[in-house]
Structure 1
Amino acid sequence: MTRADVVVVGGGLAGITAALRLADAGRRVTLVETKPWLGGLTYSFHRGDLDVDNGQHVFLRCCTAYRALLDRLGVTGQTHLQDRLDIAVRQPGVGEARLRRNGLPAPLHLGGALLGYRLLNPVQRLKFTRAALAMKALDRTDPALDERSFGDWLREQGQDEQTVRAMWDLVGLATLNVPADEASLALAAMVFQVGLLTDNDAADIGWATVPLRELHGAAAEQALAEAGVTVRTGTKVEAVEPGFTVRLRDADDLTADQVVLAVPPAAAHQLAPEVAAADLDVSPIVNVHLVLDRPVLTEPFVAGVGTPIQWVFDRTASSGLAARRPGAQYLAVSLSAAAELVDLPVARLRELLFPDLLALFPALAEATVDDFFVTRERTATFRAAPGSQRLRPPAVTAVPGLFLAGAWTDTGWPATMEGAVRSGDTAADAALDASTVDKRAGRPAAAGPQRRQGVPA
């Protein structure tokens, strides 16, 4: 058996964060990941000479924990963060509008954009403004809000179907990964209060300018190695036994004083059924990828309204296509809350979605589609439904020395990269605090200096 102070099970963003924080505090850490790579649900693969991300992942300026992880990995320069929120929004048959913030304090920072937002009429804009102010006043820590539907609340605020489509779902679908009628009001309040209604620059959008496997996986491998973390990829954990003994398939077992389970809820339940719930539902995401012989999108990205096409990103440069085929374009189409689409064959998805793509990008009619393929994440996020909060466990469990991490745990955030990183920070803090308590009580504790101050929670 191999000995470690802490074994971290799972090499996604939560596990990477926890392992780095613990190692930086002087703990001997071993990280075990089933897949052959690190990065979890944020990964890339090769399709011919194309570098393809499994899905389009973005972050906001308010994602302080995730941005701190990028700094720790030394890859902030491989991302782009808008100087000022600017979203091109298109609705077939209606036209294009822009949501661009000004320099005024929130929520006035969107006032100018709202006045000229042609997808809503003046009455709808006024009602949206009133509802936004009511949203800002909600106490998102009130447990009663988690039992209520976001859609029901919107109707109470006089929000009609077009306003929900053109404003609320624009943000809500991408972050909550469920429609408003199926979303927890508490989580919706968190998204809009933190992302849009509190700080002027909170919603500025950032994205990777390199493949995600390079941004997260490769950078994490290097950072973890430099921090002294032993990383075992392609290794499955079969059991975590009291003590702790971590049983590995086809590898020597590990022993540790503490274990952090940074894995999805089903895997956590299998390894530790006494501390991880089994009934937290999941919500899928589908991504459609097109390689075209010419550009049809002149923006970095565009949002769709009144169409299944929610967000379309130009990934030509980051995929390597620009260098290999000048003049061609690679588009990634994100379809959140995709329960009705996730099992459809590629040919059927193309048949369903191509008319909407043509409506959004008329130039597509003259282009040649060189490739059309689909990636699917059936368990992309936990389902942010009413009542889900009580199913999300905290980092500290009833088993001393066993901690949970992952975007599905009780972070207060929906299942985003920010939520995943925050969960890793929280689990690491809890493990360090527990080992300090053990040391003061005269029991053995992992050696090392006191932990450093973490990122804001």
Structure 2
Amino acid sequence: MKAGHVCVIGGGLAGIAATLRLTDAGHRVTLLEARPALGGATYSFRRGDLAVDTGQHVFLRCYEEYRNLLGRLGTTERTAMQEAFTVPILRPGAPPHTLTRDRRLPAPAHLLPALLTYRPLRLRQRFAAIRAASALRAVEPEAPASDEISFGAWLADHGQDPQTVQRLWELICVAALNAPPRHASLALAARVFRTGLFDRADAGDIGRPTASLAELHSVPALGLLRQQGANVRTGTRVRDITVDPSGFQVRSDHIRVTAEAVILAVPHQQAARLVPEAAVPDRARWSSLGAAPIVNVHVRYRQRVTDLEFAAGLDTPVQWVFDRTPPDSPGQYLVVSISAAESALHTPAGVLARTYLAALAELFPSAGRTAVHEVFVTREPRATFRQRPGTRSVRPPSRTALPGLALAGAWTDTGWPDTMEGAVRSGQRAAGVVLEHLASKTTLPEAST
């Protein structure tokens, strides 16, 4: 097969994955990224001597394609994977509780001891949660009907009282779907709980970066893609895509790229502006995907206040807290991650700082006695799309009506939530669509925007 020229627009995980698959197949690729570096939503910036990530991007053992990508980038050793799913749970004034799977038992029994001994719930609530977990294993994530109702409504129908929802199901749902159960799609929740926790004993083991996201993704990806022969252009914002007899024309303020195929791997808001109408006539529907924010409160203490690598919080403003202290660094750098953060998004940074310093002091008593070097806040207003009921019908497939133009991004119809795994899978799927097009030598229609 003759090598073709493909333009990939967007250098996040989806664009990186797509470019790798295309160059592996021997095609020429021009990758255009608007930001100064690759990585998309998983990027870092410098703040003095500190590398600050835009969010706390953990992953699970079942994120197989994402973990394969780390292997290609040579950065697997810059992550830490648990030997078994374990989450320390902290409550003010209560002893810590650890939620962990039993390594001796196969799925789904591996979680039974954890639920039976889950101290934040009363005994009858624990048994009710076990019955709901068993029922959730029967929910099919791919079924259209599963996407039409909320996870919260399903939980209520299956005997879960508000306290059980808040102290168990919401703990994972908010972190995984950036939405509370009452606003989350049952289909996506079923994907999280079935794939991540119920179907395989080790699937939910948690991995986390031990280096900055720039070191984990963007820097090694740039080197690898150029080694593969890709022409990577950062700081290049695409203005429009048109089609003529010579191929696709991709224009920025500074360059024009003519390509036989295009992969559009950008957030849905940008994709709707760029994609030709002939490719997706109903692209205006994508606006209903919306955006959900994540806010992070960063605290640098002058001494260590906890030995935990991460923990979840109950009965506290702290949803999840992560230790991101650089090696050999004095003190301790903690990051509080706030998902479904609509209220925190518009709260003044000073108010957030006071609120979360007090909350951390309740969870870690030594924190209240330790000097603070600095506190700052980062906000991601469009961290994910809103993963609510009915979104499955809006998320588009990779293939468009215009041969040679494919869509990628965690917001496309991957069947997965808006995660790093979903992003990588979408890029690989879009590359597959383009490879099929190039192999068939389909003639492009003579059309414009």
2:381 alignment counterpart = 378
| Partner residue in 1 for 2:296 | 287
Partner of 1:434: 437
What SS is found at the alignment partner of 1:247?
strand
Query: What number of residue pairs does the alignment pair up?
Result: 432
C-alpha separation in 2, matches of 1:394 and 1:231: 26
Residue of structure 2 in register with 1:64 after alignment: 64
Consecutive unaligned residues of structure 1, counting only runs of 5 or more, are 445-457
Indicate the residue corresponding to 2:416 in structure 1. 413
Structure 2: state its 5+ residue gaps.
Answer: 445-449
Offset at residue 214 of structure 1 (A) = 0.8
| Alignment partner, residue 31 of structure 2 | 31
1:177-326 to 2 correspondences below 5 Å: 177-242=178-243, 243-249=247-253, 251-272=254-275, 274=277, 275=280, 276=283, 277-317=286-326, 322-323=327-328, 325-326=329-330
1:219 & 1:346 partners in 2: Cα distance?
Answer: 33
Amino acid of the structure 1 residue aligned with 2:354: E
User: 3-state SS of the aligned residue for 2:96?
Assistant: strand
The 2-side partners of 1:365 and 1:131 are apart by 39
Greater displacement, 176-185 / 136-145: 136-145
String of CA shifts for 1:356-390, please: whole Å, max 9, x gaps. 22221121110111110011110000100111111
**Percentage of matched positions with identical amino acids:** 51
SS in 2 for 1:425: helix
Shift of 1:5: 0.9
What is the aligned partner in structure 2 of residue 166 from structure 1? 167
Q: CA deviation at 1:78?
A: 1.0
Tell me which residue corresponds to 2:447: none
Q: Which residue of 2 aligns with 1:357?
A: 360
Aligned mates of 1:233, 1:149 — CA distance in 2 = 40
In structure 2, what is the equivalent of residue 333 of structure 1?
A: 336
1:97 partner amino acid: H
Deviation at 1:436?
1.4
> Structure 1: which amino acid aligns with 2:17?
T
Shift of 1:85: 1.0
Q: Which residue of 2 aligns with 1:116?
A: 117
Report the more deviating stretch, 302-311 or 125-134: 302-311
2-structure distance, mates of 1:252, 1:98: 55
Q: Larger deviation: 141-150 or 24-33?
A: 141-150
| Residue of structure 2 equivalent to 1:146 | 147
Stretch deviating more after TM superposition (93-102 or 58-67): 93-102
* 1:137 paired residue number: 138
CA distance in 2, matches of 1:278, 1:136: 32
Residue 447 of structure 1 is matched in structure 2 by none
Partners of 2:297 and 2:356 within 8 A in 1: no
> Hey, what's the Cα distance between the residues in 2 that align with 1:280 and 1:100?
34
Contact 2:178 2:387 in 1 (8 A): yes
Compare 238-247 and 429-438 and name the one that shifted more.
429-438
* CA–CA distance in structure 2, aligned partners of residues 139 and 46 of structure 1: 43
Q: Measure the CA separation in 1 of the matches of 2:225 and 2:347.
A: 39
Q: CA deviation at 1:36?
A: 0.3
Q: CA RMSD in A?
A: 1.4
TM-score, L = length of structure 1 = 0.92
Counterpart code for 1:70: L
Partner of 1:16, secondary structure, is helix
In structure 2, what is the Cα distance between the partners aligned to 1:409 and 1:210? 28
How do 1:383-402 and structure 2 match up within 5 A? 383-402=386-405
